[in-house]
Chains A and B, each alone.
Chain A
Amino acid sequence: MVEEIGKTAEGDLIINVGPQHPATHGVLHLIITLNGETIKKVEPHLGYIHRSIEKMCESLTYRQFIYTTSRMDYLSAHINNHACALTVEKGLGIEIPARAQVIRVLMDELTRIASHELWWGAMAMDLGAFTPFFHAFRERETINDIMEETCGARLTMNYMVPGGVMMDLHPNFQNRVKNFLTLYKRKIHEYDELVTGNIIFQNRMKGVGVLSKEAAISFGVTGPAARGSGVSCDVRKLYPYEIYNTLEFDEILETEGDSFARYMVRLREMNESIKIIEQLIDNIPEGDFQAKTKAVLKLPKGEFYQRVETARGELGVYIVSEGGTTPYRIKFRSPGFSNLSCLDHITRGGKIGDLIASMGTLDLVIPDIDR
């Protein structure tokens, strides 16, 4: 049996999951080759939501192209915009005011918590539990309200501009965030009671979808999915940007590499983000929220690259400039695409019932994969 895995033989069942399937979190198409209940091969088919964002960016100016990246990984839209703004600032060589840096990091971490909370709810729903979804959305809604008040939008904020942030913080911001922190601390134990400690959940997660450290590195998996396998890859720690090198937080590492390890990494990461917000919320420096920039931005001729840690992993933005007002070429190294590539590896030889659970722990966002 073992040598047959990976090859199609007569009598194998080929089924399609998606592209219109709620469990794939979007328009992902999986072609699964089955032998009975055992998965022999999983083949993802991409491109159903390809909008050619990279090509589109080539015709937009350096101020305009940032908003399109909110539509890539829409759950960490802030962090995507942040990466683009950082790359343009690198090219322009401008200094960002301290206030803008703190605001940016605060927003990033709030986004990370919101993203992980949505993932937690969707993850439980993948396994058939519906209640946790509403519990997760209760806290996430508080963050969305904060974003709506300060940035003007709930999901696609477009708050980062080259040189800082678009508007100053709303006067209510600090109080709102503090209210959120109390709510979060009052409610976080429910997450463990409802899902983490649940015996059915543990039996379905432990020892399933194992991704070894070597495989994680060779597939280019980043973010919480790789940290669950013991790969130290947090860009905030390894290549600090903005003010992350002055903050105290831990990089969460688990060594088992199974679905449960990836789950635990994300849950514990939320607490680290809370730690960062607590350090910053009372210490927002006074000053400008935006550096003075020219009306028309022109990057010097050359290549610029910046990576950031989104909620899903490492996002790289690569800009080639010819000296004009629009980029010559833009490339996004999105975390979702690399994380998806290990799906075949971790589910092969397992049961079809575990496929959706393993896929859920990778935290895939399909528009991020296709772009």
Chain B
Amino acid sequence: MFIVDYVKDVYGAMKSLLVGMNRTGYYFTHHKEIITEEYPDNRETLVLPERFRGEVVMAHDENNEHACTGCSACELACPNGTIKIINKFDISPEGKKKKAIDTFVYHLELCTMCGLCVEACPTAAINMANTFEHSVFNRGQLTKRLNKPDSKLKAGVE
């Protein structure tokens, strides 16, 4: 009986190896099943989903207007201190003082892309872009100003 078991073992072992090799052979001959994406070369065709969380950006329309009121909700929601809002006071034509943002500072190097600032924003002024290649040569370039120069608050946004 020992011989029978031994032969059975050897047969089973050989069979298991051949079954595995069969799989390898299958993929060797079926090139259409290969799904590799060659990343740096496919930059033009790479499509990321619109919800993808890259860096925080502030949307400006064609009149160079944004929707940020400077309420600092994002600054409070951020767990890492990534956002710093510097406010100023505009004088309206009627002579009233009105709060507006002077600089919206965004530290990309501190950001973990958690999306809590976008969640907290009451006016949907900021959103997350689809960019993900953030490497720069100088660390200073990672501190960004999100509101464009001379941009204004959109009319009707409170």
Contact = CB atoms under 8 A, between A and B. Distances in A.
Contacts of A60: 79
B128 interface: yes
Interface string B102-128: 000000000011111001000000001
Interface residues of A, number: 30
A148 B52 contact: yes
Contacts of A289: none
Interface stretch (A19-27, A151-159, A225-233): A151-159
Nearest to A137: B35
A301 interface: no
Given A60-B79, A64-B79, A67-B79, A193 B20 contact: yes
Interface in B17-40: 17, 19-20, 22-24, 35
A199 B79 contact: no
A288 interface: no
Given A151-B51, A170-B49, A64 B116 contact: yes
B116 to A, nearest CB: 7
A198 interface: yes
A149 B20 contact: no
A166 B116 CA distance: 9
A193 B19 contact: yes
A11 interface: no
Given A138-B35, A152-B53, A67 B114 contact: yes
A68 interface: yes
Given A149-B49, A158-B114, A199-B17, 10 more contacts: A67-B79, A67-B112, A148-B49, A151-B51, A152-B49, A152-B52, A158-B116, A166-B119, A170-B51, A202-B16
Interface of A: 60, 63-65, 67-68, 131, 138, 141, 148-153, 156, 158, 161, 166-167, 170, 190, 193-195, 197-200, 202
